[in-house]
Amino acid sequence: MVKIRVLYDEIGNTLTVWFDDPAKEYVCEETGDEVILMKDRSGRVIGFEKLNFSSSVSQERSLQIAFETVRG
């Protein structure tokens, strides 16, 4: 089973999503669109962080996550 972690930091206004163990992070790369990619030693993306993620979430004080699997 794949475990995906989603973390919302309301003080830092960031949304972080991990597809693998955060301890495997080796390097980070900013895309220029306020998104940071976290990569392992082989260069595989294991997570990302969206900066300035506040919009209406901070006003509503709640965040709902929907997860869907698409099969082709």
- What is the chain's pLDDT, residue by residue, as a tens digit (72 residues)? 678 999 988 889 899 999 999 999 999 999 988 999 999 999 999 999 999 987 655 555 667 778 888 887
Q: What region does 43 belong to: left with phi over 0, alpha with psi -120 to 50, or beta? A: left
pTM over 0.75: yes
DSSP-assigned letters across all residues of 9-51: ETTTTEEEEESS-GGG--EEEE-SSSEEEEE-TTS-EEEEEET
Q: Which two tokens stand for residue 44?
A: 């595989």
- Dihedral over Cα of 9, 13, 19, 24: its sign: negative
